[in-house]
Amino acid sequence: MQRLSKLTGLKFVEIWVMGFLEKPTASLNYLVQVAADIEVSITKQGLQDRLARGAVDFLTAVLKRCAIQLRNKVPMDLSLLKQFNGIQIVDSSGFGLPDSLQSEFPGSGGDGPKSALKLQVIWDFLHGNLLDIVTQGGDQPDQLFHQHALQILPGWLCLSDLGYFALETMAIIAEAQAYFISRWLTGCGLVDPATETKFDLLAYLQDTTQNQLELNLWVGLQKRIACRLLAIRLSPEIVEEKRRQLREKARRKGRVVSATSLAWLEWSIFITNVPLDRLTLEQISLVYRLRWQIELLFKLWKSECQIDRIAGRLRARVLCEIYAKLIGSVLFQYVSFPLRWTDRELSPVKAIQTFRRYALQLAKALQDSDQLDALLSKLFEIWKRCGLKDKHLIQLTTCQRIAFAGQTLT
C-alpha cells in the first residue's frame, strides 16, 4: 500500500480469497460487491488498477506464509501412520493458460496448450497440512523435481508415483533418516548385495510360484541404495485388463507391445527403505494407496474450486485468481482437518461446499476472536451433522482399512 486507504493488504486478500471461495466463477464486478460486503468501497476499474501494483507477488508471498503458518500439530489417530513423524505425499497437476503467458509458463508441446501451469504440491497427509505449492511451466518433468526430498525431516515417510522415480531423490530421503515407498521403475538396475552382481528380477519372478515375495536388494547399478523390494502377483482379470489397455495405447501410437512389457504387468512391485518391523508387505501396499488421496485433492480443486478456470487474459488477472484459490484451499485444509478422521471420515466435497457458504462471514469475523470462535464452532457442528461421508456397508475407505490394519499395533 502506497497511501492511506480502506483497501489494506488484508482487505485485498479477503476480497480475492473469500470472493473466489464463495463463487469460483467470480468476475471483477462480483469482487467489487464482495468488497462492499466488508465495507470497502472501490470501483471495478480501481480493483483492476491494484492488480498492476505488485498484486501477484503479494498473493504469492501470502500463499507461502499460509503454508508455513497454517499447520495442524495433532496427527490423524491412525496407529499405523503415527509410527512416522509425517506422511509426505508429492504429486503435480496442470492446466492450460492463455497463450500470452507462454514465455513464463510454456506448455508441454504436442497437441496441448501453448501455455500451461504445473502445480507441484507437497502434502503432509498425517497432519493435513499443505507444506508447499510450487508453480512451474507445463514443460517441466516431475522426475527433475527434488524439492520435497530437500524438505523432508527425520522419521517422515514419502509417497510418490513413478513420475518422481529418481535414485538421487531416494538417496536424499534416506540420508535425511526418512523413508520412502515407491513403485519400482522397470529397467532400473538391481544388484544382489550378497554377490554384488546384477539381479535379473523378471527371470526370478517368472520362475517363482509364490504370489507374494520380498527381497533385500540394492537399487541402482552405480549409486546403490539398500531397499526392500516387494512383489505382489495380480489376479488374471486385472492382468488381462492392464494388457488390453497397454495394447490399445500402443495401437494408437502405431507401436507393438513387447513380450517383456506384457510380462511385467503380472506384478505390482514396490521398493522401500521402511524396515519390516514398521510395515509388513501387506501394510506397505495398503499405505501406498494413500498416494491417491492427493489425486482426490486435485479433483476437489478443479471441480469445487475451479482452479483451472481461467477468466481473464492479462497476466496479473489470471495469476491473482489462481493464487487466491490456492490460498483458500490451504485455509480450508487447515480448518477442516481436525474433523478429517473421527468415528467417520469427513467428506471433502460436502465440507468445502459448506465452507464456501460461510466464506464472507469468516472474512467479517477475522477481526473479532470471539465472533470467529463462535462461527467456527457452528461450522464444525454443521460438518458433524451434514459433512461426513456416507456409510459404506460393503466397501471400506483407505483410512478405514488402515485403521483396522493398525489395531495389531495397539
Domain boundaries, the chain: 74-295
**179-183 and 156-159 strand pairing:** parallel
41: DSSP letter: -
In contact, 95 and 65? CB cutoff 8 Å: no
pLDDT at 410 > cutoff 70: no
Q: Cα Rg for the chain, rounded, in angstroms?
A: 24
Confidence at 166, pLDDT banded by 50, 70, 90: very high
Q: State the Cα–Cα distance between residues 288 and 270, nearest whole angstrom.
A: 9
User: Which pLDDT tens digit goes with each residue over 177-231?
Assistant: 999 999 999 989 999 999 999 999 999 999 999 999 999 999 999 889 999 999 9
pLDDT at 1 > cutoff 60: no
pLDDT at 3 > cutoff 60: no
| CATH class given for the domain over 74-295 | alpha beta
Confidence at 408, pLDDT banded by 50, 70, 90: low
Q: State the Cα–Cα distance between residues 113 and 95, nearest whole angstrom.
A: 9
Query: What number of CA atoms fall less than 13 Å from residue 96's CA on the CB side?
Result: 9
Query: What number of CA atoms fall less than 13 Å from residue 410's CA on the CB side?
Result: 12
Q: State the Cα–Cα distance between residues 9 and 14, nearest whole angstrom.
A: 9
Alpha-carbon distances of 319 from 102, 259, 404, rounded to whole Å: 13, 47, 43
User: Which pLDDT tens digit goes with each residue over 24-57?
Assistant: 999 999 999 999 999 899 999 999 988 887 899 9
The pLDDT of 298-323, averaged and rounded, is 93
Residue owning grid cell 462471514: 361
pLDDT at 4 > cutoff 90: no
Confidence at 312, pLDDT banded by 50, 70, 90: confident
